[in-house]
Amino acid sequence: MKLLAVIALFPVFFGAFHKAWAAVAFEPPRAKLLTHFPFKMLTGGIIIIRATIDGHPDSLNFVFDTGSGGISLDSLTAEEMKITSVASERTIRGIAGSRKVNFAYNHRLHLPGLTVDSLDFHINNYDLLTSTYGLRIDGIMGYAFLRRYIVYLNYDVHQLEVYSNGDFPYPGGGYFLKPGFSALPFQPVTTKDAKKITAKYYLDTGAGLCMLFSRSFIRDSGLLSPKRQLLPTQAEGLGGKKSMEITFIKELKIGPYRFRRVPVYIFDDDFNVTSYPSLGGLLGNDIMRRFNVVLNYAEQTIHIKPNQSYLEAFDYSYTGMSIYLIEDIITVVDIVKGSPAGKAGFLPGDKIISINNHFSADIQTYKSLLQHANTTCRVLVSRGGSLYDLKLKIGNILRPR
């Protein structure tokens, strides 16, 4: 009887041993830190990363963009580096257009401390982005890079850390988002204004704004009050410039985190880049930069934890004027009729010499100076060989004109 009892218990012990052994044998490896390096952040939260390609020594500027489904290279940069590309049937879409693109296959990207091989770059023209940001944009780094690694964006110190896939030691606190994934992550977000609406939005670190809605979503959802005044403006993206309107919503909630009186843009999504009606638009990096973020595409997880910018005031300023860096000169290009800039006497083609006695000729500095709603600034411009001192009263989207 004792022998039979031992034999009867053997499958139980063996089963327990087998499970314990399997748990040890198949435990995922720890994520390993591969490299870390600083990034530059522009207005709106746009992230710029420096890298080189293949054996070329020139350091290039890449926009770090979760809203990009691949990786791309500027057409002029590719030409100067003599990188060969071939035609394809692939089409890319932007807010202002769509086009077929060429590809440059099987190249290497060298980041500080890390080489990423076997990358296929699609080729696009980024002249407009270069003029908008005031520094040359050589490419956009998206899904083709992000799918290979775990990436930690530490906005407190402007540092990016790259880890191998595996068991990652997430920071304490914070919140795990579980977005859907195609090549791009899309996350449920709750917005509240005239109505409270929960919908899905792309998470787009390459968009230097808080939220962008398709006009179809705004119309069909009834999110905004019909009485809300929308101010005309424009934005830049793939495909060129796009006329938009700007206003605010009373509340935005992502995970457990709430933001109130959030600036938002609304546009006619002629090329359906927002995938309406599946999605309502996108959540940009002027929201995401307020968290330190872990992007884990392999586990389809994004961890967010409020950082020191979490409570920063939003940009409610409104000038109705667009400035670009053209041939190394900061130039006024577009002015909305009846806007603060129009009333101040600005004209297209005005060359900005200084703002509030800042003569830096740095477009990022000048844009920052124009982001103080309800203030007045002095702008010295050159026009037709003469200098004009213009007084610009910066508007506020919370107090429509």
- DSSP symbols for 160-224: EEEE-SSB--PPSSSEEE--EESSSEEEEEEEESSSEEEEEEEEETT--SSEEEEHHHHHHH--S
**Rounded Cα gap, residues 217 and 195, in angstroms:** 13
Instruction: Please give the structure tokens belonging to residue 83.
Output: 């990188």
Contact assessment for residue 263 and residue 312, using Cβ atoms and an 8 Å cutoff? no
Give, as one character, the DSSP assignment of residue 137: -
Instruction: Please give the structure tokens belonging to residue 233.
Output: 């403006």
Instruction: Please give the structure tokens belonging to residue 375.
Output: 């203030």
135 CB neighbour count, 10 Å cutoff? 16
pLDDT at 396: 96
Give the C-alpha distances (Å, rounded to integers) separating 267 from 162, 211, 215, 223, 230: 35, 11, 5, 15, 11
Contact assessment for residue 330 and residue 352, using Cβ atoms and an 8 Å cutoff? yes
322-329: long-range pairs with CB below 8 Å, 24+: 322/234, 322/241, 323/352, 323/363, 323/366, 323/367, 324/131, 324/132, 324/363, 325/130, 325/131, 325/132, 325/134, 325/363, 326/131, 328/361, 329/361
Containing 143, the helix (H) or strand (E) segment is: helix 143-146
pLDDT at 401: 53
Provide the β-strand partners of residue 177: 302
pLDDT at 26: 62
Query: Could you tell me the domains of the chain?
Result: 33-163 (2.40.70.10), 177-297 (2.40.70.10), 317-396 (2.30.42.10)
- Per-residue pLDDT 10s for the chain (401 aa) are 433 343 344 444 445 545 554 545 567 799 999 999 999 999 999 999 999 999 999 999 999 999 999 999 999 999 999 999 999 888 887 776 778 899 999 999 999 999 999 999 999 999 999 999 999 999 999 999 999 999 999 999 999 999 999 999 999 999 999 999 888 999 999 999 999 999 999 999 999 999 999 999 999 999 998 888 899 998 877 667 889 999 999 999 999 999 999 999 999 998 899 999 999 999 999 999 999 999 999 999 999 999 999 999 999 999 999 999 999 999 999 999 999 999 999 999 999 999 999 999 999 999 999 999 999 999 999 999 999 999 999 999 998 65
**Rounded Cα gap, residues 267 and 264, in angstroms:** 10
